[in-house]
Amino acid sequence: MEPGVTAIVVTYESAHALPECLAAIGLAGIPAIVVDNASEDVSPEIARLAGATLLRNACNEGYGRANNRGVEAADSEFVLIVNPDVILELGSVAALVRTARRHPDAGIVAPKIVEPDGRVFFQPRSLLSPYLKNPRGELAIPEGEACVPFVSGACFLIRRALFLGVGGFDPAIFLFYEDDDLCRKVADNGFSIIYCPAASVRHGRGKSSAPAPGRVFRSRWHQAWSRAYVSRKYGLPDPAPLMAAINGIKAAGARAIRRTDLYERYGGSAAGAFAWMRGRTALEQEGLRGVSAKEAKR
Are 66 and 57 in contact, with CB atoms under 8 Å apart? yes
Question: In terms of domains, do 96 and 124 share one?
Answer: yes
Question: In terms of domains, do 75 and 43 share one?
Answer: yes
pLDDT number for residue 103: 93
Instruction: Quote the pTM value.
Output: 0.91
Residues making up the chain, counted from first to last: 298
pLDDT number for residue 139: 74
The angle at the Cα of 222, spanning 218 to 227, to the nearest 5 degrees, equals 155
Counted domains in the chain: 2
User: What's the rounded Cα separation, in Å, for the pair 295 and 172?
Assistant: 9
Question: In terms of domains, do 229 and 281 share one?
Answer: yes
pLDDT number for residue 104: 87
Beta partners for 81?
Answer: 8, 156
**CA distances for 295 relative to 34, 40, 159, 165, 281, angstroms:** 30, 33, 28, 21, 10
Q: Tell me the per-residue pLDDT of 93-108, one tens digit each, with 9 for 90 and over.
A: 999 999 999 998 999 9
Those residues of the chain that have pLDDT short of 70 are 1-3, 130-138, 205-213, 290-298
Q: Tell me the per-residue pLDDT of 241-268, one tens digit each, with 9 for 90 and over.
A: 999 999 999 999 999 999 999 999 999 9
User: What's the rounded Cα separation, in Å, for the pair 63 and 153?
Assistant: 10
Q: Tell me the per-residue pLDDT of 160-193, one tens digit each, with 9 for 90 and over.
A: 999 999 999 999 999 999 999 999 999 999 999 9
CATH (domain of 98) = 3.90.550.10
- Domain range for 230 is 215-296
Question: In terms of domains, do 199 and 227 share one?
Answer: no
User: What's the rounded Cα separation, in Å, for the pair 86 and 206?
Assistant: 10
Are 221 and 271 in contact, with CB atoms under 8 Å apart? yes
pLDDT number for residue 210: 54
R_g of the chain, CA atoms, integer Å? 19
Question: In terms of domains, do 21 and 79 share one?
Answer: yes
Question: In terms of domains, do 120 and 195 share one?
Answer: yes
Domain contains 221: yes
Domain contains 209: no
Question: In terms of domains, do 187 and 240 share one?
Answer: no
The distance of Cα 122 from the centroid of its chain, to the nearest Å, equals 14
pLDDT number for residue 140: 80
Exposed, middle or buried: residue 242 (CB in 10 Å: 0-12, 13-18, 19+)? exposed
Question: In terms of domains, do 45 and 183 share one?
Answer: yes
Residues 6 or more apart in contact with residue 128 via CB below 8 angstroms: 150, 177, 180, 181, 183, 184, 230, 234, 236
Question: In terms of domains, do 102 and 142 share one?
Answer: yes
